[in-house]
Copies of this chain bind each other. A is one copy, B any other.
Amino acid sequence: MFAHNKRLQYTVRVSEPNPGLANLMLEQFGGPQGELAAAMRYFTQAVSEDDPGRRDMLFDIATEELSHLEVIGNIVVMLNKGAKGRLAEGVDQEGEMYRAITGAGNDSHITQVLYGAGSPLTNSAGVPWTAAYIDTIGEPTADLRSNIAAEARAKIVYERLINLTDDPGVKEALGFLMTREIAHQKSFEKALYSIAPNFPPGKLAGRPEFASVYFNMSQGGPELNGSWNSGDKWQTVSDRDQQMGVDGGSGEASVQLDADDAELLNAMAARTMSDPSVDPMTGAELGMSAETAAMTPGASATGKQPPQPGTVH
């Protein structure tokens, strides 16, 4: 069960309202790398986790992320405080409010007009948060790696936001939030490596003949190799022919159909067959400009007579 205390985890001191900066901060409120995504990623894992230690950790961190959501939300709200009053009570000089709304040079207009200078669950472009951001799949050796990566990404976005403001109170609170992502990453790393083995994730082993092959699919310039594709741990395949049909087969797709299905497919094929033997008049030619026709090789010899309604083709 969740409980709430009215004090924030970290005190928020904002020097002055700035709706444009508020809008950028939304990135970590309702954005893909933000706190709701973090909280929900760990919460959904916690709820279905059977290992008691991991479950406890996941609830600990999910709950902290909810508290961070509240901190970043309060930063947004404080930065928007001036705009909120102006918007709610109206002003006489409309041109002035129009300039204020659109003057930040980013999407703060949407925050203000649609959301009343509040703290909506969108990213800084106004895109509503979606659970498509959540990559929980219910296997801990995969989910913990997802968590490690998510913390790394969140750390970076906080770093970028810190670089954007010189409000000392905002900077300080963001620094706290950024640091906590580092701490969380460390916890998830420990939890992952406490499962042994954890690679490859899951239960099925791979097929040995393909597990250490590196397909050199991008060619045509200098090849820069490293431990990721060369050395005695890798078998590199650069020959284009050997990159296809690697099972030794034809590289074709096939299915065994019964007679009825085959017949229907043939009927469809016949009905929709492209006849390569004619050069039909087309809609593009019907509508072609002289300029275009002039640059079209052979256009003056437009082949096939347009079909006459009333006859079968």
Contact = CB atoms under 8 A, between A and B. Distances in A.
B228 A188 contact: yes
B15 A256 contact: yes
Given A2-B3, A113-B161, A30 B290 contact: no
Given A128-B127, A212-B296, A163 B253 contact: no
A21 B98 contact: yes
A226 to B, nearest CB: 3
Contacts of A101: 24, 106, 164
A123 B110 contact: yes
A256 B287 contact: no
Contact of A309 (B7, B54, B272, B299): B299
Interface residues of A, number: 253
Contacts of A247: 10-11, 172, 176
A63 B1 CA distance: 9
A137 B149 contact: no
Copies in the complex: 6
Contact of A74 (B131, B192, B253, B299): B253
A56 to B, nearest CB: 5
Given A84-B48, A145-B149, A223-B56, A283 B253 contact: no
Contacts of A7: 1, 220-221, 244-245, 250-252
A219 B3 contact: yes
A78 interface: yes
Interface in A133-187: 133-142, 145-146, 148-150, 152-153, 155-157, 159-166, 172, 175-176, 178-180, 182-183, 185-187
Contact of A133 (B132, B153, B161, B186): B132
Interface in A252-297: 252-258, 261-265, 267-269, 271-297
A164 B44 contact: no
Contacts of A4: 1-3, 59-60, 62-63, 217-220
Interface in A82-99: 82, 84-91, 94-95, 97-98
Given A107-B125, A129-B131, A179-B210, 15 more contacts: A1-B243, A53-B226, A75-B253, A89-B264, A91-B163, A107-B126, A114-B125, A116-B160, A118-B136, A135-B153, A186-B212, A190-B227, A191-B274, A197-B307, A288-B307
22 contacts: A2-B70, A5-B220, A12-B254, A23-B109, A32-B114, A47-B76, A56-B218, A78-B254, A97-B163, A102-B105, A105-B109, A141-B272, A182-B206, A194-B275, A196-B287, A197-B288, A199-B285, A226-B274, A280-B286, A290-B310, A299-B309, A299-B310
Closest 3 CB pairs of A and B: A116-B138, A7-B251, A125-B126
